[in-house]
C-alpha cells in the first residue's frame, strides 16, 4: 500500500473514531485495526498519536471550512450568505453522526495538556470568525457584528451537541436576522 493510500485510510479511521468516541478513548491499535494499515506503517507515517491527532484536526479544519464556505458563498446576496451559515449548521447538526464541534470537543478533552491541540482549535475558530467577518464586510456591517454572529454560531454548535437537536441552528438564524436588521444590513 502506498503512503498516500495508507495516510488516507489512517486519517479516515482516526476521524471516525476520534470524533465518535473522543481522542483519549481511542488507541493507536484501534486506528490500525479500523484502517487496515499495519502498525509499522502507521508509525512510519505518524510517529506518535499526537502527530496523528494533529493531522486529523488539520484535515477536519480544511474540510469543514471548505464545505461551509462552498454552501454560503453560493448564495446570491451578502445577507443570504450570512444566513446560509446557519442553514449549513442546521444540516450538519442533523447528520446521524453529529457529536458537536470536533475542535470544541478536542479542546475540552486535551486543550489544557496539549498546546498543539489548543493552538489548532484556536486557529480553526479564528478562521471561522474571519470568514464571518468577510461576509459581514461584504454586507456593509461593522466588525463587531461578525463577533456577535460567530458567537451565535458557536453557541448553536454546543447547544445542538448537548441536546441532540438541529433546532439551535434555526434559533441562532432567527437571532442573526435580528442583529442584521438592527445593523441595517439589507438584502
pLDDT band at 56 (very low <50, low <70, confident <90, very high): very high
CA distance 40 to 32: 9
Position 21 pLDDT exceeds 90: yes
Q: What was the pLDDT predicted at 186?
A: 84
pLDDT band at 1 (very low <50, low <70, confident <90, very high): confident
Crossing angle of helices 49-73 and 78-93, rounded to 10°:
130
Mean of pLDDT values over 166-176: 98
pLDDT digits (tens, 9 = 90+) for 113-170: 999 999 999 999 999 999 999 999 999 999 999 999 999 999 999 999 999 999 999 9
The two domains 1-47 and 53-182 share their CATH topology (first three levels equal): no
Q: What was the pLDDT predicted at 2?
A: 94
Domain residue extents for the chain: 1-47, 53-182
The dotted CATH code for 1-47 is 1.10.10
Query: Under CATH, which architecture does the 53-182 domain have?
Result: Orthogonal Bundle (1.10)
Q: What was the pLDDT predicted at 55?
A: 98
Find cell 442533523 and name the residue. Answer: 94
Position 187 pLDDT exceeds 80: no
Mean of pLDDT values over 32-61: 97
- The pTM (predicted TM-score) of the whole model is 0.94
Distances (CA, A) of 158 to 89, 99, 108, 120: 11, 9, 12, 18
Q: What was the pLDDT predicted at 57?
A: 98
Helix H or strand E encompassing 12: helix 3-21
Q: CB–CB of 108/117 below 8 Å?
A: no
Mean of pLDDT values over 40-65: 97
Q: What was the pLDDT predicted at 119?
A: 97
pLDDT digits (tens, 9 = 90+) for 83-106: 999 999 999 999 999 999 999 999
Mean of pLDDT values over 67-94: 98
Amino acid at each position: 500500500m502506498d503512503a498516500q493510500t495508507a495516510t488516507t485510510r489512517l486519517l479516515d479511521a482516526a476521524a471516525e473514531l476520534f470524533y465518535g468516541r473522543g481522542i483519549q478513548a481511542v488507541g493507536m491499535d484501534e486506528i490500525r485495526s479500523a484502517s487496515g494499515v499495519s502498525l509499522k506503517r502507521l508509525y512510519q507515517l505518524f510517529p506518535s498519536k499526537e502527530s496523528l491527532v494533529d493531522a486529523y484536526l488539520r484535515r477536519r479544519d480544511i474540510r469543514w471550512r471548505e464545505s461551509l464556505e462552498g454552501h454560503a458563498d453560493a448564495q446570491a446576496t451578502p445577507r443570504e450568505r450570512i444566513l446560509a451559515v446557519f442553514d449549513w449548521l442546521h444540516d450538519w447538526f442533523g447528520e446521524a453522526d453529529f457529536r458537536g464541534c470536533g475542535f470544541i470537543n478536542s479542546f475540552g478533552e486535551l486543550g489544557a495538556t496539549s498546546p498543539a491541540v489548543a493552538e489548532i482549535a484556536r486557529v480553526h475558530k479564528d478562521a471561522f470568525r474571519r470568514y464571518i467577518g468577510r461576509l459581514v464586510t461584504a454586507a456593509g456591517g461593522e466588525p463587531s457584528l461578525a463577533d456577535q454572529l460567530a458567537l451565535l454560531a458557536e453557541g448553536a454548535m454546543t447547544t445542538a451537541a448537548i441536546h441532540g437537536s438541529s433546532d439551535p441552528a434555526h434559533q441562532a438564524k432567527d437571532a442573526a436576522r435580528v442583529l442584521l436588521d438592527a445593523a441595517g444590513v439589507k438584502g
